């Protein structure tokens, strides 16, 4: 007969099971905390590496702007190159090398200026330096964004969030700039075409939810993001008419252009998709719809390849999501209902 009795044995067994569960949970938490720490170190190192290669690209651009001799640069081009490179340097100095939204904007401005540069007219050594700088930026940005993706994925797990295993470490952010890949360098100026207007539509249903598509770049399918429906403006087409047309093509929602409000916001964009770099201006509009039914059967072949799905988001969900949302200010803008009403001029966003 047991000294503890049947009840005592049961208590001991329960205690042992609880202790094992506590030990296993503690082990898992310690392992995740250590992995999270390693990921933050990796992200910081990747950010420092990306900042270094971006600084080098700006230095090469300053050297090009200062080059005398048979270079096909007029005074305006030289000033534009110097101004863009100095703007990059100013954001680096102000933020101690932090890769923030201001640095993104400055780097994209530099990319736009470089789009007008005829690299074939440069001295061979400078052309090679610029090509090498572009290649290094492309690789470093992908390394950085891969580290950010892994870190955000771990920080998004429920146990990590509830127990605040990340401590006070800031949430790492993607660095989203357009840069030509090594294969595109010879045709870089033509690959980054002339700026083109596009429209985006903030579609709000009767429950106050916002429609967003989940997109991906076929060249980097693991990096998904959410964006508003819309598309290019045809020559001579009024933006609200373009908004209604693209909305019908992409969602099946038939909306009269007079129901569309805007433009509310405007942003200049430079981005890379499927190996091609694009530049343009996006005009954001808004429309209220009574239903959440969406029909994507009108997608083009390219849209079907690059759009994974769609979802109706509440403003509260957007405010706490760890997913990448374009534009970045969208959650904050939607928190203020007046942001969906046109102002005297469109609000500039990034």
pLDDT digits (tens, 9 = 90+) for 146-181: 888 888 877 777 777 777 777 777 888 888 776 554
Q: What is the pLDDT of residue 195?
A: 45
Phi and psi dihedrals of 19, rounded to 5?
-60, -40
Joined together, the tokens standing for residue 279 give: 């530049």
Phi and psi dihedrals of 267, rounded to 5?
-145, 145
Q: What is the pLDDT of residue 92?
A: 66
Q: What is the pLDDT of residue 203?
A: 92
275 against 109, higher pLDDT: 109
User: Mean pLDDT in the chain?
Assistant: 78
pLDDT value at 286 more than 80: yes
| Residue 289 and residue 203 in contact, taking contact as beta carbons nearer than 8 Å | yes
Q: What is the pLDDT of residue 188?
A: 33
| CA–CA gap between residue 117 and residue 141 (Å, rounded) | 22
Tell me the whole-structure pTM to 2 decimals.
Answer: 0.55
Bridge partners of residue 217, in order along the sequence: 220
pLDDT value at 12 more than 80: no
What's the CA dihedral at 116, 119, 125, 129 to 10 degrees? Answer: 60
Instruction: Tell me the average pLDDT across 261-285.
Output: 75
Most distant CA pair in the chain, distance: 102
Neighbours of 317 (CB within 10 A): 14
CA angle 306, 311, 317 (to 5 degrees): 125
Instruction: Tell me the average pLDDT across 282-306.
Output: 84
- DSSP 8-class letter at 172: P
Instruction: Indicate the SS3 state at residue 203.
Output: strand
Exposure on the CB side of residue 74, measured as CA atoms within 13 A:
2
pLDDT value at 76 more than 80: no
Provide the percentage of residues in the chain whose pLDDT is more than 70.
82
């Amino acid at each position: 007969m047991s000294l503890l009795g049947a009840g005592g044995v049961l208590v001991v067994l329960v205690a042992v099971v609880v202790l094992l569960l506590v030990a296993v949970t503690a082990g898992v938490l310690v392992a995740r905390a250590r992995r999270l720490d390693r990921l933050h170190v990796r992200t910081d190192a990747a950010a420092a590496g990306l900042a270094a290669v971006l600084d080098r690209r700006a230095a090469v651009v300053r050297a090009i702007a200062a080059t005398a001799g048979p270079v096909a640069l007029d005074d305006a081009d030289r000033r534009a190159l110097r101004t863009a490179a100095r703007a990059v340097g100013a954001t680096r100095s102000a933020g101690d090398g932090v890769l923030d939204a201001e640095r993104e904007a400055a780097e994209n401005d530099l990319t736009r200026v470089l789009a007008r540069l005829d690299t074939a007219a440069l001295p061979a050594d400078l052309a090679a330096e610029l090509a090498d700088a572009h290649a290094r930026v492309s690789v470093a940005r992908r390394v950085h964004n891969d580290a950010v993706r892994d870190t955000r994925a771990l920080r998004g797990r429920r146990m990590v969030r509830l127990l605040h295993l990340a401590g006070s470490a800031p949430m790492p952010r993607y660095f989203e700039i357009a840069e030509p890949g090594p294969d595109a360098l010879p045709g870089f100026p033509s690959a980054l075409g002339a700026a083109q207007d596009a429209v985006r539509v903030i579609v709000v249903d009767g429950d106050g939810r916002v429609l967003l598509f989940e997109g991906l770049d076929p060249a980097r399918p693991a990096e998904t993001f959410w964006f508003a429906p819309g598309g290019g403006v045809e020559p001579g087409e009024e933006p609200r008419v373009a908004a209604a047309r693209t909305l019908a093509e992409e969602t099946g929602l038939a909306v009269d252009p007079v129901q569309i409000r805007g433009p509310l916001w405007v942003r200049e964009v430079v981005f890379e998709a499927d190996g091609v770099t694009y530049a343009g201006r996006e005009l954001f509009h808004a429309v209220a719809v009574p239903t959440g039914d969406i029909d994507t059967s009108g997608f083009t072949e390219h849209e079907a390849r690059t759009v994974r799905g769609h979802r109706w988001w509440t403003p509260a969900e957007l405010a706490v999501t760890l997913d990448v949302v374009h534009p970045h200010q969208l959650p904050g803008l939607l928190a203020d209902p007046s942001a969906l009403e046109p102002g005297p001029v469109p609000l500039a966003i990034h």
